[in-house]
Amino acid sequence: MPRTIAIIGASFAGLGVARFLEPRAEGADAEVILIDRKPYHEFHPLLYEVAVGAARGRAEDCERILASGVCVNINAFDRLFRGKRVTFRCDEVIAVDRLTRTLRFRGGGTITFDALVLAAGSETAYYGIEGLKEHAIPLKSVRDALRIRRRILDLLHRTQQGTAPTPSIVIGGGGATGVEFAAELGNSLHGRARDCAITLVERGSRLLTAFPERLSRVALQRLHQLGVRVALDAVVERASLGRVVVAPRPLHSGEERSRLLCGFDGASCALDADLIVWTGGIQYPALIADAGFPCDARGRVVVGEDFLVRGETCVFALGDCASFTRLRTEQPLPPLASIAIRSAPVAAANVLACLDEYPLRRFRSSVLPAIVPLGGKHAGLAYRRWVWVGRTVWILRTLVDLQYFCSILGLVTGFRMWWRGARMYTEND
């Protein structure tokens, strides 16, 4: 009887593991089951384009066209999987029994696994901020992006009709997602909604804290050029319908209030907010901790350099939900798509090796260039101590996207999908 390898999550990591295992499953006498609650794989790096994208035609057609540039139908096995040993189950895993090695599904039924891969990704974290979950829209999925787009179009329409003042949009979080969205929004609205108020709120003293400081300065300058107000050293205190209260962040030990960059005169500041977009944090699925897997303080499952979950046999984790600490730097790997893509083949090879009791490989992490789109045909690239900015970097970013689509869909289909998205998204630039 074939051995069962279950993969929870069709993210960059989960899909990558499944694709690596597909041509090797028959030789290893294994059956691979890829599980996700959505029937499609989302290309998250382009969600900001969907949220700001403009397309002609009926609203339903426009949304379908915009979403088609970032969604890959997993059920299209003739494109993704050509073998018979990989199946996809569109369902949600609600419980993992480590002792019986069983998964239980929300739709009913269970499966027993011989090896398990946790690639469940992450979820939006609201940190208990009053009213934020009820009144803000995250930017974590295609559905979120389309909700944001509908709201923006409605605000612009009402403004043009003279039934509402110019829109006010508040974005929480100055990481890559928040900066990309703010820059694209500022670039898109330039000349379409005069004096549209866009405010980006960031808790840190600079944007893009995971990147070199020079790229942070470049991003800040770019946002100012696009008319985006940036509030650094500031936090969202509470949110309500049409309003956000922003306050200076809590002081560190020995820190003076005058050193903060938020620029508020008082203890807090109330901002009008016709739209609140929240990109300020992530948390990890409770499924992992509830199952009893060892987790770090943030809720990520702890793995070794071979992606094997600590204390487990044939249970691996990678991607956002895994806490992979580099021994040389003692720093965890950041939750980046590029790292998830590179780690998938190593994790998949170790799954097969573990089933056959062979030695496991270590993942050798290395510093890769990181590219952050900065609105229109403009992007910044950071690599070690160097930073490059401009249209050439934006072209490089589009080629990286092309390479990924071709790697999972094949040269012809991948190029068609990339070209359809690239041509459509650049119309706003």
| Complete domains list, the chain, with CATH | 3-39+74-122+284-355 (3.50.50.60), 132-278 (3.50.50.100), 370-428 (no CATH)
Q: Dihedral sign for Cα 415, 417, 423, 425, please.
A: negative
Q: Dihedral sign for Cα 182, 183, 189, 190, please.
A: positive
Phi–psi pair at 394, nearest 5 degrees: -65, -40
User: 118 and 344 in contact (C-beta within 8 Å)?
Assistant: no
Instruction: Report how far residue 192's alpha carbon sits from residue 90's, in angstroms, rounded to the nearest whole number.
Output: 41
What confidence score (pLDDT) does residue 74 get? 86
Instruction: Enumerate the β-bridge partners of residue 372.
Output: 380
What confidence score (pLDDT) does residue 429 get? 63
User: 61 and 53 in contact (C-beta within 8 Å)?
Assistant: no
Label residue 81 exposed, middle or buried (CB < 10 Å: 0-12, 13-18, 19+): buried
Instruction: Report how far residue 138's alpha carbon sits from residue 126's, in angstroms, rounded to the nearest whole number.
Output: 10
Instruction: Report how far residue 38's alpha carbon sits from residue 302's, in angstroms, rounded to the nearest whole number.
Output: 26
Enter the tokens of residue 128.
């208990």
What confidence score (pLDDT) does residue 277 get? 98
For each of the chain's 429 residues, which pLDDT tens digit applies?
Answer: 889 999 999 999 999 999 999 999 989 999 999 999 999 999 999 999 999 986 555 566 778 888 888 998 887 655 567 667 899 999 999 999 999 999 999 999 999 999 999 999 999 999 999 999 999 999 999 999 999 999 998 998 888 887 778 889 999 999 999 999 999 999 988 755 455 889 999 999 999 998 889 999 999 999 999 999 999 999 999 999 999 999 988 887 777 777 777 766 667 889 999 999 999 989 999 999 999 999 998 899 999 999 999 999 999 999 999 999 876 667 778 888 889 999 999 999 999 999 999 999 999 877 778 899 999 999 999 988 889 999 999 999 999 999 999 998 889 989 999 998 888 888 766
pTM over 0.75: yes
Instruction: Report how far residue 297's alpha carbon sits from residue 126's, in angstroms, rounded to the nearest whole number.
Output: 17
What confidence score (pLDDT) does residue 364 get? 86
User: 153 and 164 in contact (C-beta within 8 Å)?
Assistant: no
What confidence score (pLDDT) does residue 109 get? 94
Give one word for 263, left, alpha or beta, with left for phi > 0 and alpha for psi -120 to 50: left
Instruction: Report how far residue 368's alpha carbon sits from residue 354's, in angstroms, rounded to the nearest whole number.
Output: 29
What confidence score (pLDDT) does residue 354 get? 96
Instruction: Enumerate the β-bridge partners of residue 382.
Output: 370, 387
CA-based angle 87:91:94, to the nearest 5?
125
User: 5 and 117 in contact (C-beta within 8 Å)?
Assistant: yes
The length of the chain, given as a count of residues: 429
